Amino acid sequence: AEARAALAEARDRLARDAVPPPPPKARNRPDPAFEAAYLARERLAKEGAELLDRWAPVIEARALVAEGKAAQALPLAQGVTLDEPRLRADLMNAVRAGLPAAEQAKLPAPAQLPTRHDLLARLPKSIVLAFLMESLPQAERAEDLPRYKAGAVSAWSGWDIDPRTDGVKVTFRHNGTAPAAVEEMALLRAAEAALAAGKPGMVVLDRKDLRQMLVQTYNGVPTGAATPAGFSTELEVRFVDAASGGGGDGYGGGWRVLDAAAVRAALAPAYPARTAER
């Protein structure tokens, strides 16, 4: 029952998020960036709906097996189209186990599914260790996080803010922290700028994330391998009068609008020593 409810909720949420934006006023030209964002959202919503359709028979078959209705679950399990061999085999084995012996005999032999332990046991320890280290998050300490302070962007670190008519372009670059921290610092600076301008909401119109690499050259010719030299994020932000959920100057019922105060409240504690505009 919970899985069915979760699937229904996912469909409803997907439908709500894909609602077309309100038509532009006659005197206003359509915003190309806004239209592109909606088209991308519409495409993703379609792909999401197709994926939910492919998962639906899996969820329903599992629920029927749990209810003791394996015979009803069998055609659903046989029609699963997900490209997940282990999932399909596990589902068929569960359905088979709930059928009478006479019905089980009519089906192909149950699949023998190797466990995760079996798969790992076949690999050299060096490869297992490499997989483990790759899966771990990048170590990050509070003292290593960049400080939120004013300063023009240099070759290595700092942020820059370029005022626009109704917003800002914020750039933040740092050579000694994770890309997520760089992204958050840029968003925090944009939120501070929105609040300083008396605007409770903001819309990210464009975003660029870059990874810097350092290459040594001799007479313009690289002399060695490139080494990581930090990350940068550039945000093109428009300020709006409504916070999230409040309309947002025609931005699709607010689904693109970020609450600037909420952004600051969430991110400011992580980046101390900031000289915020008030």
Tens of pLDDT, residues 70-128: 899 899 988 888 777 778 888 888 888 898 988 888 888 777 766 667 777 777 888 87
pLDDT in tens, 170-198: 888 887 777 888 888 889 989 989 999 99
- Give percent of the chain above pLDDT 90: 12
What mean pLDDT comes out for the span 273-277? 45
Which CA distances in Å does 244 have to 20, 120, 122, 146, 256?
17, 46, 51, 28, 8
User: What count of other Cβ atoms lies within 10 Å of the Cβ of residue 195?
Assistant: 19
How large is the average pLDDT for residues 23-44? 72
Listed residue (175, 202, 182) closest to 262, CA to CA:
202
pLDDT on residue 261: 93
Q: What average pLDDT does range 202-226 have in this prediction?
A: 83
Asked if residues 232 and 156 have their Cβ atoms less than 8 Å apart, the reply is no
- State the average pLDDT for the chain: 79
* The pTM of the whole model exceeds 0.75: no
Q: Is residue 264 a contact partner of residue 191, using CB atoms and an 8 Å limit?
A: yes
Q: Is the pLDDT of residue 249 over 70?
A: no
Residue 277 has pLDDT above 60, yes or no: no
* The pLDDT of residue 244 is above 60: no
Q: How far apart are CA 157 and CA 190, in angstroms?
A: 17
Q: Phi then psi for 151, rounded to 5 degrees? A: 155, 135
If one counts every other C-beta atom within 10 angstroms of the C-beta of residue 23, the result is: 9
- 3 state SS of 228: strand
Segments in 19-69 forming alpha helices (H)? 32-66
For residue 274, the model assigns a pLDDT of 45
Q: How far apart are CA 149 and CA 146, in angstroms?
A: 9
